């Protein structure tokens, strides 16, 4: 465990939520390298206040949890402080959320119907109330998500450049793509090892595409209970 308070606290928060560095980064809108750098102790505090606020909001922690030593998240988690018993659960419980259907990480495809609940970490469900899951097929986003993954989507989060979104066409077909917005167009791009997938560019006079939410967590289908 790296020695700086922020390094050990941020890692404890991530591991308590049972997220990989990439999943944690996606949840707060940074890249995985940033999380790696934090946990390695190379940064004492993120420069942008919005990043600190994003971590606190997404994982229901305080700035003291992030930067405190004797009273930070790591100390509370491991019983090294006088915080009230049960202030932080040693391991999060799971929560059941609806699996609404199937989307596609490739070409457009009709959503499949599915009436089923899946388990996600309680910390993820609590940080993103109203979230839901979809099962995603295809190779268009395989730099981020393996084919046949279950994706947890926050329908209320505002998309930001570089995040993954669930999008729906006017024909009720759905896809997952990387989001970016320019001055006059919206771009939904693949994030794949291959080069066979093309960008989808939506301008003001094009048929609309509805953004259904931001992907904030995923797990391979075979690992979902």
Query: Which pLDDT does position 221 carry in this prediction?
Result: 62
Angle, helix 5-16 to helix 49-59, in steps of 10 degrees: 40
* Distance of alpha carbon 129 from alpha carbon 125, whole angstroms: 6
Pick the CATH number of 94-223 from 3.40.50.720, 3.30.365.10, 1.10.150.130, 2.10.109.10: 2.10.109.10
Is 130 within 8 Å of 154 (Cβ atoms)? yes
Query: Which pLDDT does position 84 carry in this prediction?
Result: 52
Superfamily (CATH H level) for 5-77 = lambda repressor-like DNA-binding domains (1.10.260.40)
Query: Which pLDDT does position 147 carry in this prediction?
Result: 83
Helix (H, G, I), strand (E, B) or coil at 121: strand
* Distance of alpha carbon 200 from alpha carbon 95, whole angstroms: 34
Residue ranges per domain, the chain? 5-77, 94-223
Tell if the pTM clears 0.85, that is, is over it: no
* Distance of alpha carbon 47 from alpha carbon 1, whole angstroms: 22
Query: Which pLDDT does position 85 carry in this prediction?
Result: 42
Query: Which pLDDT does position 55 carry in this prediction?
Result: 93
Per-position pLDDT tens, the chain of length 225: 446 899 999 999 998 888 889 889 988 989 999 999 998 888 889 988 989 998 998 888 999 999 998 888 988 888 776 555 445 544 446 778 888 888 876 544 444 445 578 888 887 888 888 899 988 888 888 888 888 889 999 999 889 888 999 998 776 678 899 999 888 889 999 988 777 788 888 887 777 788 999 999 888 765 543
């Amino acid at each position: 465990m790296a020695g700086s308070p922020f390094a050990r606290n941020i890692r404890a928060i991530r591991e308590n939520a049972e997220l990989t560095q990439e999943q944690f980064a996606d949840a707060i809108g940074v890249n995985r390298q940033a999380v790696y750098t934090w946990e390695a102790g190379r940064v004492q505090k993120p420069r942008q206040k919005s990043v600190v606020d994003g971590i606190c909001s997404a994982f229901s922690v305080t700035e003291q949890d992030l930067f405190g030593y004797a009273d930070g998240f790591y100390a509370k988690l491991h019983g090294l402080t006088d915080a009230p018993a049960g202030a932080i659960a040693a391991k999060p419980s799971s929560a059941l959320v609806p699996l609404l259907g199937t989307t596609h990480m490739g070409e457009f495809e009709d959503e499949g119907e599915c009436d089923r609940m899946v388990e996600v970490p309680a910390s993820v469900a609590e940080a993103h109330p109203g979230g839901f899951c979809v099962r995603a097929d295809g190779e268009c986003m395989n730099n981020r998500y393996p084919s046949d993954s279950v994706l947890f989507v926050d329908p209320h989060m505002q998309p930001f450049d570089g995040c993954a979104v669930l999008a729906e066409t006017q024909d009720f077909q759905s896809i997952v793509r990387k989001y970016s917005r320019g001055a006059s167009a919206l771009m939904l791009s693949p994030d794949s090892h291959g080069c066979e997938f093309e960008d989808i560019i939506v301008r003001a006079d094009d048929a609309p595409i509805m953004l259904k939410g931001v992907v904030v967590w995923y797990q391979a289908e075979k690992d979902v209970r």
